[in-house]
Amino acid sequence: MQNIDLICVGKLNAPYFAAGVAEYQKRLGAFCNFRIIELPEAAIADKNASDAQISKALDKEATAILSSLRKGEYLAALCVEGKQFSSEELAKLIADRANSAFVIGSSHGLADSVKKAANAKLSMGRITMPHQLARLVLTEQIYRACTINNGMKYHK
| pLDDT of res. 154 | 77
Q: Give the model confidence (pLDDT) of 25-65 as tens digits.
A: 999 999 999 999 999 999 887 778 788 889 999 999 999 99
pLDDT at residue 67 above 70?
A: yes
Confidence class of residue 156 from pLDDT cuts 50, 70 and 90? Answer: low
DSSP assignment of 91-129 equals: HHHHHT-SEEEEEE-BTTB--HHHHHH-SEEEE--SS--
Q: Give the model confidence (pLDDT) of 79-129 as tens digits.
A: 999 999 999 999 999 999 989 999 999 989 999 999 999 999 999 998 888
Around Cβ 139, how many Cβ atoms within 10 Å? 25
Distance CA 125, CA 40 (A): 25
| pLDDT of res. 155 | 62
Query: Based on the number of CB atoms within 10 Å of its own CB, is 15 exposed (0-12), middle (13-18) or buried (19 or more)?
Result: exposed
Across 60-85, average pLDDT: 95
DSSP state at residue 18: H
In DSSP terms, which residues pair with 102 in a beta bridge?
6, 76
Q: How, if at all, do strands 120-123 and 3-9 pair?
A: unpaired
Residue 117 · residue 66 · CB < 8 Å = yes
